Structure 1
Amino acid sequence: MSVPTDRAPRATPAPAGDEILRSTLRRHAAGVTVITVPGPAGFTATSFTSVSLEPALVSFCLSLTASTAAAVEDAGHFAAHVLGPQNAALAAGFARSGVDRFTGVDWSPHTEGPPILAGVPAWLVARVTLLRPVGDHLLVVGEVTDGGGNGEPTGLVHFEGAFAAAGPLTQGGG
């Protein structure tokens, strides 16, 4: 494979890969979730995603240096809470470090252990099936065992460093 040599030289050095990743992903609207594990422990995550329908698998990632990493590694189950705009303060609270993230939060323990947060559009519980360090993060995959929620149709997203509401676009241009 040849590389074109007729390009003008760059006036400044190319940004490092981590800078490119941060800059690009700021422009990617990502759903906001709170992941909880027994302890209780939890954190805000935008890395939550589906992996497979058969079996029903979901995943998320967190930094290996996160304060909740040890609790996640020790957990047999986790709960993922899909948030709506009314949960922005909850998302902000679970994103803070150095505090008890459960203070003032209405929750109850699920029979499989993880805390279930009240007042969220949707939640699910999954049994951990894979824990794998990937780069500077821990990849966690789980098989869905239960779910529920209040069904709020508008989602909370993170975009350009802030929380925003996501909902259906109007159909037919208006």
Structure 2
Amino acid sequence: MTDQPGTADNGGAAFENMVSLLDYPMFVVTTASEGHRAGCLVGFTSQTSINPPKFLVGLSRKNHTFTVAQEADHLAVHLLPREELAVAKLFGGTSGDSTDKFAQCGWSPGPEGMPILDAAAAWFVGRVSKRFELGDHVGHLLEPVDGNAPEDLGELITFSDVRDIDPGHDA
């Protein structure tokens, strides 16, 4: 009976098949706390409110960025143009446990001391208003406090651009 549409056993497989067809934009999330900088490639994100504006970022508990983010009051969320795939690979394919990613890319200190990537097509810094469990990730609900976005973003890095990156950590 597991092959019948709508059965509980088939739900997980159907969900996996459905979301594998989507081509979400990818983000690089950076943060800083207690003298430590961290950042990672993130695909689990969503705007959650228009007024007041709120944005959700899911960080894996196994990720170095998660560890630093737990002590941080703010996160910076970046969109990268497609020509900056090397930066996405840096933040998605290496671990901050053993690599200083910021020594390998251009960045500058931004609002609230957050590291802002030079490669970003657009970015915002958000205050963490709430954290909550999301399975193997922890949700960080952000309230934007500052940012920069042009009139046109051009072509951005999406999941299909990075699906072959071996992650620096398992999810």
TM-score range, shorter chain: 0.7 to 0.9
CA distance in 1, matches of 2:134, 2:46: 16
Look up the SS of the partner of 1:156 in the other structure.
coil
Look up the SS of the partner of 1:126 in the other structure.
strand
Alignment of 1:21-32 (within 5 A): 21-32=15-26
1:40 matched to which residue of 2?
Answer: 37
More helix by share: 2
1:51 aligned onto 2:48:
yes
Alignment of 1:117-156 (within 5 A): 117-149=117-149, 151-156=152-157
| Deviation larger for 147-156 or 128-137 | 147-156
> Which structure 2 residue ranges, 5 or more long, are not aligned?
4-8, 166-171
CA distance in 2, matches of 1:80, 1:21: 27
2:114 matched to which residue of 1?
Answer: 114
Shift of 1:135: 1.3
Deviations 1:40-79 (A, max 9, x none): 1000011222111111111110211222211111110110
The change in CA–CA distance for 1:113 and 1:9 in structure 2 (over 3 A counts) is: closer
| Letter of the 2:75 counterpart | F
1:80 matched to which residue of 2?
Answer: 77
Matched positions, count: 153
RMSD, aligned α-carbons: 2.4
> Which structure 1 residue ranges, 5 or more long, are not aligned?
1-7, 164-174
Look up the SS of the partner of 1:91 in the other structure.
helix
Higher radius of gyration, 1 or 2: 1
CA distance in 1, matches of 2:148, 2:76: 11
Shift of 1:104: 1.9
